[in-house]
Amino acid sequence: MLVDSTQIIEALWETLWMVGFSLLFSALIGLPLGILLVITRKGHLWENAPLFNVLNGVVNVFRSVPFIILLVAIVPVTRFIVGTSIGTAATVVPLVFYAGPYIARLIENSLLEVDKGVIEAAEAMGATPNQIIFRFLIPEALSSLVLALTIATVGLVGASAMAGAVGGGGLGDLAITYGYQRFDTTTMYITLGILIIMVQGLQTTGNLMSKKIRRS
Partner 1 sequence: MIQFSSVSKTYGSGKDAVQALSGIDLTIETGEIYGVIGFSGAGKSSLIRCVNLLERPTEGTIKIHGKDLTSLSKKEVRQTRKDIGMIFQHFNLLNSKTVYHNVAMPLLLSGEEKKKVSQRVADLLDFVGLGDKADQYPDQLSGGQKQRVGIARALATNPSILLCDEATSALDPETTQSILELLRKVNKEYKITILMITHEMGVIREICDKVAVLESGSIIEQGTVFDVFTDPQHRTTQKFVRSIMNDGLPESILNEINRKEHKHIYRIQFTGSTTGYPLLSRVSREFALDLNVLYGNITELQGIPYGNLIVEFIGERADIQRALLSIQQQHITVKDVIRDAG
Q: Is there binding between residue 214 and partner 1 (CB under 8 A)? A: yes
With b meaning 16 or more CB within 10 Å and e meaning fewer, what string describes 146-168?
bbbbbebbbbbbebbbbbbebeb
Q: Is there binding between residue 125 and partner 1 (CB under 8 A)? A: yes
Residues numbered 98-117 forming contacts with partner 1, rule: CB under 8 A: 115, 117
Which residue among 7, 48, 131, 203 contacts partner 1 (CB under 8 A)?
Answer: 131
Residue number, 4 or 124, with CB nearest to partner 1: 124
Q: Which stretch binds partner 1 (CB under 8 A): 17-25, 26-34, 133-141, 149-157?
A: 133-141
Q: Which residues contact 170 (CB under 8 A, 6 or more apart)?
A: 11, 14, 15, 18, 88, 91, 160, 161, 163, 164
C-alpha span between 104 and 117 (Å, rounded)? 23
Q: Which stretch binds partner 1 (CB under 8 A): 55-63, 91-99, 118-126, 163-171?
A: 118-126
State the distance between the two ends of the chain, measured CA to CA, in whole angstroms.
49
Q: How many CB atoms lie within 10 A of CB 8?
A: 17
Q: Is there binding between residue 127 and partner 1 (CB under 8 A)? A: yes
Q: Which stretch binds partner 1 (CB under 8 A): 135-143, 149-157, 183-191, 197-205?
A: 135-143
Residue number, 6 or 216, with CB nearest to partner 1: 216
Angle at 152 between CA 171 and CA 105, to 5 degrees: 145
Length of the chain (residues): 216
C-alpha span between 21 and 162 (Å, rounded)? 16
Q: Is there binding between residue 47 and partner 1 (CB under 8 A)? A: no
Q: Is there binding between residue 209 and partner 1 (CB under 8 A)? A: no
Q: Is there binding between residue 121 and partner 1 (CB under 8 A)? A: yes
Q: Is there binding between residue 120 and partner 1 (CB under 8 A)? A: yes
- Cβ 124 to partner 1 shortest distance, Å: 4
Which residue among 8, 142, 199, 209 contacts partner 1 (CB under 8 A)?
Answer: 142
C-alpha span between 66 and 91 (Å, rounded)? 15
